[in-house]
Amino acid sequence: MSLSGRARLALSAAVLVPVLVGVGVTTAAYSDRAVLTLGTGAAGPALGNPARFDVAVRDADGLLHDGASPEEAVPLTLASGSRLSESSPVDVDVVLVNRAPGVSGDVTLTVYDPDPVTDDLFDALRFTVYLDGSPTPALADATSQQMVDEPVTLEGLEPGEERLVTVSVLVAEGSGLSVAGETTQIGLLADGQSR
């Protein structure tokens, strides 16, 4: 069966129409954005915890200080002793307070040298730490590096709670002559983490 030229053209057009219709179909994607501000709904207030973990140090006059940086360190008087030696410790009592209202948290204690000078006395010191007047030390005869590697932690310091930390300092046994005439400063860092 032979098709005439018109019939072939009509058949070709019929075959091409679905293809052309398919090319003519388009799709569209829509986008939208919603901007949210989390908070109380009132102007100004931010989203957050209304209470904070706020550890302070009680000074010799009974006043609380933040001592938030080494520049703001709270100077404390010696509880006993006045000169470092191998046999008679110098004791420093530190009262840490978690201010209320607040949240509970843990406080890690380490020592540091506020005036790191080459060949000062700091590296020859040994530290013993007592908590809350206990006769049993939480850490005994530790070097400054051991105080960093194995810090003493006050766990679960509740809002309004006070804890007494006594740091007893000696010059390392057998190093007395090699450090004669040397001085140092001793810093105690109380690093807190809320629970």
| pLDDT tens sequence across 48-82 | 556 778 899 998 889 998 888 888 888 877 777 77
| pLDDT score for 60 | 84
Can you tell me the mean pLDDT for 105-133?
Answer: 89
Can you tell me the mean pLDDT for 86-97?
Answer: 92
State yes or no: pLDDT of 131 exceeds 90. Answer: yes
CB atoms within 10 A of CB 95: 16
Question: Which fold is adopted by the domain 55-194?
Answer: Immunoglobulin-like (2.60.40)
Write the secondary structure of 98-133 as one string of H (helix), E (strand) and C (coil).
Answer: ECCCCCCEEEEEEEECCCCCCCCCHHHEEEEEEECC
- Beta carbons of 186 and 117 less than 8 angstroms apart: no
| pLDDT tens sequence across 155-187 | 999 999 999 999 999 999 998 778 888 888 888
Q: What is the distance between the alpha carbons of residues 11 and 53, in angstroms, rounded to a whole number?
A: 84
State yes or no: pLDDT of 20 exceeds 80. Answer: no
Q: Structural domain boundaries of the chain?
A: 55-194
Q: Which residue has the higher pLDDT, 47 or 90?
A: 90
| pLDDT score for 36 | 53
Mean pLDDT over each residue of the chain, to the nearest integer: 79
At 43, the pLDDT band (50, 70, 90 cuts) reads low
Q: Which residue has the higher pLDDT, 119 or 107?
A: 107
Scored b (16 or more CB within 10 A) or e, 119-153 reads: ebbbebbbbbbbbeeeeebbbeebebebbeeebbe
